[in-house]
Structure 1
Amino acid sequence: MPITRRRLLGFFAGAATAVGVPSVWISNMKTYEGPVSDHFDGMRFFDPDGVPPKSLAEVLRWQFGTDRKRASWPDWVPNAHSDTPPPRVSGDKVRLSFVGHVSWLIQTRDLNILVDPVWSTRASPVSWAGPHRHNDPGVAFDALPKIDVVLVSHGHYDHLDIATLSKLSEKFSPRVITPLGNDITMRDADAAIKAEAFDWEDRVDLGNGIAVTLVPTRHWSARGLFDRNKALWASFVLETPAGKLYIVCDSGYGEGTHFRRVAEQHGPLRLAILPIGAYEPRWFMKDQHMNPADAVKAFADCGAEQALAHHHGTFQLTDEAIDAPVNALADALKEAKIPPERFCALKPGQVYEV
């Protein structure tokens, strides 16, 4: 396939989202400075149990290789569901509304929490190229209740969406909890975003008896040409009155070390939210994104009672078909002899209650 100017522009914008190969900008943003630790060498963060991100040469091989097989997605898939959340959810119940991709609204104990909120049309550093939405958010932005807390897992564009965070800041002024370094990205773009940055294993009191702990995950981060792994990435363990929720927004499986460690250190878990999409081709994606078979293994490793799937069906970041993750999840659950109702793949606008 010839490398046209249009394909190159789309590649840079899209790869910034899918694999952190940056946009055409040369980023001069400020980056994190702090003490050396077991996962920060003084310049960049790293995962002691992971692997480095792919090289630019490998990205180009994936994007422009003659053997690439990229499935075609339908341009638009109308939602069968749409949620209008209540203003608050009181008591010990937890209400989870799936917005789409990895965006969730979690309501409990009169606290409203958003996870990796993306309401933008594109998950991209630019508005004219890069992965675009294939369905509406399952909750319209104007239908959101007052948001108290936002959790942002890392800096890739399909997770850290400045435009959405700015709108939330203007309307609700929520606390934004994020791993180290991502607060700099947010405040550099919009000083009004109330970002608070934390390290792995930091526990943050959110009020009303709810707390969140940032835990290691097998991934990485980048937004510009020279900031690869200069901000940290994390998963979340959210303590609720109905039990602990393990929220994994992006992760490879590796040897399952991270998932077993969370079970040991933070279990028992009532619910795990696990990514199942953006996994093809496997030679390129396996170290940073789980496929459904990996997600089923992660579910078993972490020991959660129940699992929900996300990170599929909204933005085409990689090569598999739009319905491939859900179909492969059903096959993996059958192979593992796990009842399908224990690991559900909601559609945007559907609600799950604990």
Structure 2
Amino acid sequence: MKSAIVTSALLAALAVTGCTNINPHYDAAKPHHTAEGFRNNYPPNPAYQRPELGFIEGWISRLKNWTTPSDSREPSAPILGVAPDLPFVSVNRSEPALTWIGHATFLYQTGTGVNILTDPVFEERASPLSFAGPKRHQPPGIALAALPRIDVVLISHSHYDHLSVDSLRALWRQEGGPPVMLAPLGVDLWLEKNITGGDRSKIVKLDWWDKTSIDGMEIQLLPVHHWSSRTPWDRNATLWGAFALKTAKSSFFFSGDLGYSKDIADIAARFNGFDLAAIGIGAYQPVWYRNSHVSPDEAVRIHRELKIKRSVGMHWGTFPMGQERLDQAPIDLAQARREQGVADDAFFVLRHGETYLPASNARRNGEQRSPSQ
């Protein structure tokens, strides 16, 4: 009964924002544009065919997945974070460093004096409602209020576990002024409406393969196989993508959410490898999720095909988005490394709050903490 009530409440809340989509960024010369929104470059993998469900039935199924507790998703062992090394990250301006805050949220310090935050979500739930939806299993590795000043925010797409109203509003009001926000087409308009109060001075909109330069750093939005929505009525109304960053000191690939597709070969053809990457490894069960998220095996393939020196697995252990156990992804990642001949220190996971220093292949660890802290 409780699950049915929550599902009804979610549908009612989402219905408020339902409307007919018109793509204000539509360019008929670009195949991935449609009059209503956007589409992937390549067809979905038929091996990962989603069960046929009607429109309403599909959303009810998704909402039940969000609201129904599942013992099968509980981790096989406690997921322990570490206290962040705040004295280091708060002043670090000269050394490339990547700190996992949780899910797809990282603090990436470029080593050139720029602090970047990816897909910032600090809320208790990745949901349109505060009382229902995927609940955070592990606290943020760094509290929002404890972050150093953020210069740039990268937003990969509009899903609730990647795009948060409250987190972005807090960053917009941060001491020292708001960060520059880089967003795929359509998400820029959402930011203007919901975050900046109509101010576009700090919003940079990007289509696939578009580039921009900020503080001597080149940033490019890359095509990946995924989708977008925040309601049952706006599917693919806004664009999605991965990011490539290049500075004088290093290069970085941020996958956002993606299913494995020929887009990876297209990206590989344009880049001569990356020094560091954050790649999703979770929410790959049931199998039809893999048209939207890669499995650890596919993530290792991406690592190899993009010629990445060091990769960090993300999108696991924070929100229960898939049906696998919350700690299953790192276990399957280890097996995938062995099967594909990738060294353990070439593709690994961090603890929530842990900082990785790619130049020295070292980590900065704080005190271990329990999931309840």
Q: TM-score, normalised by structure 2?
A: 0.83
**Corresponding residue of 1:180:** 185
Q: Does residue 203 of structure 1 match 2:211? A: yes
Secondary structure at 1:168 match in 2? helix
Distance 2:8 2:297 in 1: 28
Query: Are the counterparts in 1 of residues 21 and 37 from structure 2 also a CA contact under 8 Å?
Result: no
**Corresponding residue of 2:277:** 272
Q: Does residue 346 of structure 1 match 2:347? A: no
**Corresponding residue of 1:81:** 83
Q: Does residue 226 of structure 1 match 2:233? A: yes
Distance 2:245 2:9 in 1: 35
Q: How does 1:275-314 map to 2 (within 5 A)?
A: 275-282=280-287, 284-314=288-318
Distance 2:58 2:301 in 1: 27
State the 1:86 CA deviation.
3.1
Q: Does residue 237 of structure 1 match 2:244? A: yes
Secondary structure at 2:72 match in 1? coil
Q: How does 1:77-156 map to 2 (within 5 A)?
A: 79-84=81-86, 85-91=88-94, 93-107=95-109, 108-156=111-159
Secondary structure at 1:188 match in 2? helix
Distance 1:59 1:226 in 2: 10
Distance 2:349 2:80 in 1: 17
**Corresponding residue of 1:164:** 167
Question: Considering only aligned residues, what root-mean-square deviation do their CA atoms show, in Å?
Answer: 2.8
Query: Are the counterparts in 2 of residues 157 and 223 from structure 1 also a CA contact under 8 Å?
Result: yes
Query: Are the counterparts in 2 of residues 89 and 109 from structure 1 also a CA contact under 8 Å?
Result: no
Secondary structure at 1:246 match in 2? strand
Q: Does residue 217 of structure 1 match 2:221? A: no
Q: Call closer, same or farther: CA 1:11–1:30 in 2, change over 3 Å.
A: same
Q: TM-score, normalised by structure 1?
A: 0.87
Residue from 14, 23, 47 that aligns with 1:23: 14
Q: Call closer, same or farther: CA 1:187–1:62 in 2, change over 3 Å.
A: closer
State the 1:225 CA deviation.
2.5
Q: How does 1:243-258 map to 2 (within 5 A)?
A: 243-254=250-261, 257-258=262-263
Unpaired runs of 5+ residues, structure 2, are 359-373
**Corresponding residue of 1:19:** none
Secondary structure at 2:213 match in 1? strand
Q: Call closer, same or farther: CA 1:211–1:157 in 2, change over 3 Å.
A: same
State the 1:26 CA deviation.
3.8
Q: Call closer, same or farther: CA 1:72–1:234 in 2, change over 3 Å.
A: closer
Residue from 246, 261, 270 that aligns with 2:266: 261
Q: Call closer, same or farther: CA 1:242–1:123 in 2, change over 3 Å.
A: same
State the 1:270 CA deviation.
1.2
Query: Are the counterparts in 2 of residues 272 and 307 from structure 1 also a CA contact under 8 Å?
Result: yes
Q: Call closer, same or farther: CA 1:123–1:7 in 2, change over 3 Å.
A: same
Query: Are the counterparts in 2 of residues 154 and 233 from structure 1 also a CA contact under 8 Å?
Result: yes
Q: Call closer, same or farther: CA 1:103–1:50 in 2, change over 3 Å.
A: farther
Distance 2:70 2:101 in 1: 29
Query: Are the counterparts in 1 of residues 172 and 195 from structure 2 also a CA contact under 8 Å?
Result: no
Query: Are the counterparts in 2 of residues 235 and 247 from structure 1 also a CA contact under 8 Å?
Result: yes
Distance 2:249 2:171 in 1: 27
State the 1:89 CA deviation.
3.3
Distance 1:11 1:318 in 2: 21
Distance 1:262 1:70 in 2: 39
Distance 2:270 2:119 in 1: 24
State the 1:88 CA deviation.
4.4
**Corresponding residue of 1:333:** 337
How many residues matched?
A: 337
Query: Are the counterparts in 1 of residues 23 and 35 from structure 2 also a CA contact under 8 Å?
Result: no
Distance 2:4 2:317 in 1: 22
State the 1:336 CA deviation.
1.2
Q: Does residue 9 of structure 1 match 2:6? A: yes
**Corresponding residue of 2:323:** 319
| Aligned AA (1:216) | P
Q: Call closer, same or farther: CA 1:189–1:76 in 2, change over 3 Å.
A: farther
| Aligned AA (1:183) | D
Unpaired runs of 5+ residues, structure 1, are 17-21
